[in-house]
Structures are given as C-alpha cells and as structure tokens.
Amino acid sequence: MELHIKVPEEIDKITQLKVGDILYVTGKVFTARDEAHEHMLKMAEKGEKVEFDTSKMILYHCGPVMKKNHKWKAVAAGPTTSARMELFEKEFIEHYKTRIIVGKGTMGNKTAQALKEIRGVYATFTGGAGALAATSFEEVENVYWLEELGMPEAVWIFNANDFGPLVISIDSAGNNWNAMKQGNSEKIKEEIFKEIDRN
C-alpha cells in the first residue's frame, strides 16, 4: 500500500498502514537527534513547554546540513541511525505524543509499544539520500537551540511537501519489522541446524 497524507488533518489514516507499506507526508517536520531528545525531556521534567506542537508534526531523526543566504535552506537532510534514540524514545513519545517518527534502521520493542499505545508509526528513509530529502523541505519555519546545541543537534522545523518514500518499519498495531525479521532468522537457523544434525 502507498499512502499520501497531510498532517495533522489526515494523520489518523496512518492506522491503515502495515509493515512494509509506503508513506509520503506533507506537513510540519521537526528534527531531533540525541541531544535534542535529552534537552526536550529535561524541559518536560521541569514542567517547561516547548514552543511548537509536537503532536501535530513528524519527528525526523536528522542532523541537517544547512546554509543561510537571506533565509535558512536545507542542503542535505539524511536520516540519523535511529537505534541511538531508543534510550529516549518511549518517554519522548509518551510526553510529546508524536505519532509519526522517521529515521534510519531499526528501533526496539519499547518504541514499538509506545507507538502502539498512541496509534503511531515508525518509518525509515533511505540513508545516503539526504539531498533528496532536502528537496521535500520547502521552507524552514524555525530553529530552536541552535546556539546551545549546534547545527546538527538543533531542532529545525520544516514545511515538508510529499516527504518520502518512507517505509513503515513499526506499524500502529506495534508490529516491528526488526522483531519479525529476527524471528524469521531464528526459525531459518533452527531448520539449518536440524538439517545438519540429520546429516
């Protein structure tokens, strides 16, 4: 299945998606890597609020390369390895209610459970295609904590147009491509060992 949606207006359509389906998203995207996750969670612990509505945006694990003439513009916006965010993601989802997360590679079962609870999804974007991703980001709406965190770790907010293709790796039912793949690998391994034993 291939789905094109506008966020936040059509976000509930993500519940139709299954692992392996393709998603394209139009709407606001905010970037957050390790340091931004940690910074925002510390703010939450102190009862401080961020100035943007994370529940109506896509979270993108990305440290974009930016340049500024009159305005900021993304030169490249490839995904960061999302496994690094597993430490923070469950708590982040529970507090910030972000229902679409995009990154690179796999995420764990804690993230899958948190997404299941809010009927969210985790999708992957192809690593090494940062220039392609940047073409989807038509405008930089804002940037937060640039001086404190630096360019790649700051939170950038983009207006995205048809950002994708994004491959669903964790669906809203909590099915996790990584866990499914591992399960299949274990089954294949057992069958190989049985065949070896017979010989």
pLDDT the model gives residue 127: 77
Residue 192 has pLDDT above 60, yes or no: no
Decide if 37 is catalytic: yes
| 172 pLDDT above the threshold of 90 | yes
Give the mean model confidence (pLDDT) for residues 2-10: 98
**Secondary structure (3-state) at 55:** helix
Catalytic residue among 37, 39, 61, 70: 37
Determine the structural domain holding residue 32 and report its residue range: 2-198
Q: 105 in the Ramachandran plot: left (φ > 0), alpha (ψ -120 to 50) or beta?
A: left
Query: Beta strands of the chain (E only): which ranges?
Result: 2-6, 22-31, 58-60, 65-68, 72-76, 100-103, 121-124, 137-144, 155-170
List the CATH number of the domain containing 67: 3.20.130.10
Q: What is the mean pLDDT of the chain?
A: 91
Query: Is residue 76 a contact partner of residue 31, using CB atoms and an 8 Å limit?
Result: no
Quick one: average pLDDT of 132-138?
A: 93
The percentage of residues in the chain with a pLDDT greater than 90, rounded to a whole number, is: 84
pLDDT of residue 110: 95
Whether the predicted pLDDT of 86 surpasses 90: yes
Burial of 183 (0-12, 13-18, 19+ CB in 10 A): exposed
Cα 21 from Cα 17, distance rounded (Å) = 6
> How many structural domains are present in the chain?
1
Average pLDDT (28-45) is 97
135-143's contacts with Cβ under 8 Å and 24+ in sequence apart are: 136/160, 136/161, 136/162, 136/163, 136/164, 137/29, 137/74, 137/77, 137/163, 140/66, 140/71, 140/72, 140/73, 140/74, 141/28, 142/52, 143/72
Segment 2-16 mean pLDDT: 98
Instruction: Retrieve residue 27's tokens.
Output: 């709407």
Tokens matching residue 163? 């950002």
CB atoms within 10 A of CB 180: 13
